Structure 1
Amino acid sequence: MRAIVAGAGRLGAQIAQVLAAARYDVTVVERDEARAAELGRRLAVRMLTGDASDPDLLEHAGALNADLVIATTGEDEDNLVVSLLAKRHFGVPRVAARVNDEDNAWLFDGKWGVDAAVPAATPLISLIEEATGATDTVALLRLSKAGVNVIETAISTASRAAGRPLAEVVMPEGSVIATVVRDGRPNVPTPELVLRPGDELLVVSHTATEQEIHAAVQ
């Protein structure tokens, strides 16, 4: 799934983090070069600097092939233009936008290409849920908002965890395996599930580092 997030403020950054953790191919468009660079260092997402309401830049961001566009800038005018371009010009299947000023809420409808309009006061979880309809993404968002890291690690043929059930895999304290992605599909991490080379684990933790998670399975 391909997603474009317009705006890399606190809201846009959180959305990008959660979508990336949920295995979306994420591109973030941000005007501020410093903010874009900072987010690019923290997250495994593609960053573009510029105005997302520019149709050429939006096309460069991948709008022709995007499954989802979320407009999260601090300006309603920009969010409306991004939404209209995404839906009418590029035919993006799902478009969500944040409403900063409630007096403008009446504009955020299908005429402007908005499938899901979420007021600024609405919890971020609701915006993601409206935009994606994915309950697993919402669960990841709850963890992210609570200060819990979502870390991805893969099982290789050389991993000591390969061929072992999850019950025998000891994770660092404060960490838990949220899902096992096999052949592109998430699987419930039951104790008897035997790990195979090629499996990818999504681990949530509030204490362990990425290196400690990798070391537990490699």
Structure 2
Amino acid sequence: MKVLVAGAGRLGAQIAQVLAAAHNDVTLVDLNEDRIAELEGHLPVRLVAGDACEARLLEHAGAHTTDLVIAATGDDEDNLVISLLAKRRFAVARVAARVSDEENTWLFDHRWGVDVAVPATGPLISLIEEATGATDTVALLRLSKAGVNVIETAITSQSHVVGRALADIRLPAGTIIATVIRAGQPTVPTDQTQLMPGDEILLVSHTAAEEEIHAAFQ
């Protein structure tokens, strides 16, 4: 599936990372050239700097051949404009848009080209499942056919693992850490990686339940 994600902030980068890991063809767009430069070499996606509210930029990013557009900027107005362009100008089959302000939720419907409105506060995997609406993508994310789950947990200031290295954390059997996302940027973890408040961790496990994973880090 070809996916275009507009907005390379924390949420947009995470969505792009997971969808690319699920073998989708992902393009990530952001107006901030410095942010795009930061992500170079860290994400297995095509990165495009520019304003996704402009039809010319969306066309350059491949919107005319895209199966799914996810408007994930931090600005509700921008997400509505991106959604409308994607649906009306480029006839994208499925358009999902992030809603930052709950009071604006009523605007995010077919009139603005939005097929699915996703709250920015939801769990990452749930957001992607809602945005894609595709059982094959869900299966890839959950890796259910192989009996493997992708599990997400976040480190808060109250977590007992703050300041500890990954090598010192006892994980449930059959569990590995896939990536540590810090300040919106995914990194390949090492045994010496020390966890900090705000870190988000994606783990892969074929035996552990989400409760066990959370208990290991909270």
Amino acid at match of 1:136: A
CA distance in 1, matches of 2:140, 2:90: 25
Cα 1:146/1:139, change in 2 over 3 Å: farther
CA contact under 8 A between 2:118 and 2:131: conserved in structure 1?
no
Amino acid at match of 1:139: R
1:45 counterpart = 2:45: yes
Q: Which 4+ runs in 1 deviate beyond 6 A?
A: none
Residue correspondence of structure 1 range 55-134 to structure 2 within 5 A:
55-132=55-132, 133=134, 134=137
Find the residue that maps to 2:91 and give its secondary structure.
coil
Find the residue that maps to 1:18 and give its secondary structure.
helix
Worse-superposed segment, 128-137 or 30-39 = 128-137
Which structure 1 residue ranges, 5 or more long, are not aligned? 148-172, 177-202, 206-218
CA distance in 1, matches of 2:84, 2:142: 29
Residue correspondence of structure 1 range 135-214 to structure 2 within 5 A:
135-139=138-142, 143=150, 145-146=152-153, 204=204
Question: What is the deviation of 1:120?
Answer: 2.2
Encode CA deviations 1:128-174: one digit per residue, 9 max, x unaligned: 1112123224427x736348xxxxxxxxxxxxxxxxxxxxxxxxx85
Q: What count of residue pairs does the alignment treat as equivalent? A: 153
Give the TM-score normalised by the residue count of structure 2.
0.65
Identity %: 63
CA distance in 1, matches of 2:43, 2:151: 13
CA distance in 1, matches of 2:140, 2:113: 23
CA distance in 1, matches of 2:151, 2:14: 8
Cα 1:126/1:60, change in 2 over 3 Å: same
Which structure 2 residue ranges, 5 or more long, are not aligned? 144-148, 155-173, 178-202, 206-218
Cα 1:60/1:144, change in 2 over 3 Å: farther
- Structure of greater Rg: 1
Question: What is the deviation of 1:90?
Answer: 0.2
RMSD (CA atoms): 2.3
